[in-house]
Amino acid sequence: MRTVVNFVAVITFFLSISFSAGAAERANPASIELPEEAFSLLAESFTQDCILCAKQMRKVAFRILTNRFKAGDVIRSDDSCLFVRSPQCGLQELMLTCYPKAQENGKPLLSFRFHTAQNKLVGIAEKDITANHFAEIYSAAPVGASFTGELEIVPFRYGDGKTFNYHVKENVVEVHCKIRSLKPLDSAAGAEKL
């Protein structure tokens, strides 16, 4: 009986966080403000002994991520937060210099995956494909290179949310996007940001 009461309390608490966080994030949808609550919930879900509690935490985290990363929103770099081709990036992925690359405190990595005509996932619409010249700029840059630019978040039909996947084993939130602009910076400056 006590476990059921604790489970109900945990669910109520996380639902209240979800709704308050979602309202705050909608006020400024195009900034690089990251949903720390969702990342903390995903990290905490790994330490839960209660399987149902962990599942509920991920569900609440996905709701927050869905509210933050909406199709059509634009993520813009600035001097304090650049895009980077990190060693931890997969194929056609960028990360942010302002979000830790190491999985500190169990928080997931955050990557932005773009798609090309030659390499896209089923579930990405043709209109959401990144132009070849941006893909070539990315491919020509070495690992560790930093960029300024804009990414548009795009829908992904088969994601954990409407625009993202959460890879549990790797502990990575992968947001699907289309590159709208991309300009490489001096590689030495980019390396300092890693």
pLDDT in tens, 95-110: 998 886 556 678 898 9
pLDDT for 32 equals: 67
Torsion sign, CA atoms 6, 11, 16, 18:
positive
Collapse the DSSP code of 147 into the 3-class scheme (helix H, G, I; strand E, B; otherwise coil) and give the result.
strand
Stated pTM of the model: 0.78
pLDDT for 110 equals: 92
Burial degree of 170 (CB within 10 A; 0-12, 13-18, 19+): middle
CA-closest candidate to residue 130, choices 153, 107, 148? 153
Q: Which residue matches tokens 């209109």?
A: 127
pLDDT in tens, 11-70: 444 444 433 344 333 333 334 678 889 999 999 987 888 999 999 999 999 999 999 999
Angle of helix 36-45 relative to helix 51-68, nearest 10 degrees, comes to 160
Higher pLDDT, 80 or 152: 152
pLDDT in tens, 164-188: 999 988 889 999 999 999 999 865 4
pLDDT for 18 equals: 39
Distance CA 119, CA 116 (A): 5
pLDDT in tens, 117-165: 887 888 888 999 999 999 999 999 999 999 999 999 999 988 889 999 9
What percent of the chain stands above pLDDT 70?
76
pLDDT for 102 equals: 55
Give the domain ranges of the chain. 1-68, 71-194
